[in-house]
Amino acid sequence: IIHQPACQNIDCIDETGAGDCYRAAFAVGLTAINDGAGEDNIKRCMQFASAAGALATTRQGAVPSIPSKEEVIELCQVQFGWTKDENIDSSSNHNNGVDKDTTLRQLRGGDRTDQQYNVDEAEEEDFPLLFGSRLNSMKDRPELWEADDSTDSRSDMSNWIHRMGTIRGLGCVDFNYPQHFHKHFVSNAEAKKTLYKQNLVAGAVCLRYPSSLFVRGAMMHPDPALRQKAIDLTMEAAQTARELDCNEVVIWSAYDGYDYPFQINYDENWQHLIDAFQQCCDAYPDIKFSLEFKPTDENTRFFCVPSTGAALLFVNEVNRS
């Protein structure tokens, strides 16, 4: 366990976004390491992250409170004794010696070419990661639409994708399944073509089990037939991801949980989840199935995988790579 004390004597005004700044700064520091993730390097990343999170509390808001790298380094000098020569610089080391094309294929969104970015070539050289957004985010702020402002236009998925294509730097789209398909696109090939027209790629397909069928549970539904229907729907999402050239299905098990202790048979329902994930992984070994972890949800007070420890145990018992 590596312990890093927090920054001291910080004039805290608003804590919103402090944790996000900490995690982002830690990731920035970690990508800059070129001599291994040893304890000293991890501690240095934690110091950088701690300073970023502390500075975020000194200003109002979430995004407006994000500090600059220079501000973070200056606070590290004051709080942790960094010298003026010490720095966090990931601009020349973002791939750590790994071939750039290989790295890009390992990121969300599967294989890509430079032409499939919504980013200038010079910017892409400096920053190989993709900024992505859920397609659902495009339904907000209709007054900012540049195209047809009719209600029908704003509910059309093709127009949502077109709107995403107008955002400079955005390159990756996450779809909801099945809500963003079927009646909106004739086929997955049409959805893929619509993406490519806007220089976008699919990042992931995100399961949204319809409440009309699964309000009592999806992979944990008491009815075996409906449990299988949820698994089948998950595999349909995996096939969609494959046809969109992305390799991730994000499973939000909104209804797989319980409201009160001892309301369900824990062991039985845990095994239902294990069996379901194994079935999906076996059918689609090229697809990564991610669990959208939420300790609590508006639909269920307690999720069936309620902690990081339980999630690690879950992955171990699914036992698929």
118 in Cβ contact with 136 (< 8 Å) = no
User: For residues 71 and 186, which has the higher predicted lDDT (pLDDT)?
Assistant: 71
Distance CA 289, CA 139 (A): 26
- End-to-end alpha carbon distance in the chain: 27
* Closest CA relative to residue 286, chosen from 246, 319, 228: 246
pLDDT at 34: 60
Q: What pLDDT does residue 128 have?
A: 65
Question: For helices 224-243 and 188-197, what crossing angle results, to 10°?
Answer: 40
pLDDT (0 to 100) of residue 130: 80
The pairing of strands 248-252 and 201-208 is parallel
Q: Is the pLDDT of residue 3 over 60?
A: yes
For the record, the structure tokens of 79 come out as 């709080």
Q: What is the pLDDT of residues 160-193, one digit of tens each?
A: 998 888 888 889 999 999 999 988 888 999 999 9
**Per-residue model confidence as pLDDT tens digits over 238-292:** 999 999 999 999 998 788 888 888 888 999 999 999 999 999 999 999 999 998 8
H helix count then E strand count, the chain: 12, 7
Average pLDDT over residues 214-237: 95
The whole model's pTM is what? 0.63
pLDDT band at 109 (very low <50, low <70, confident <90, very high): very low
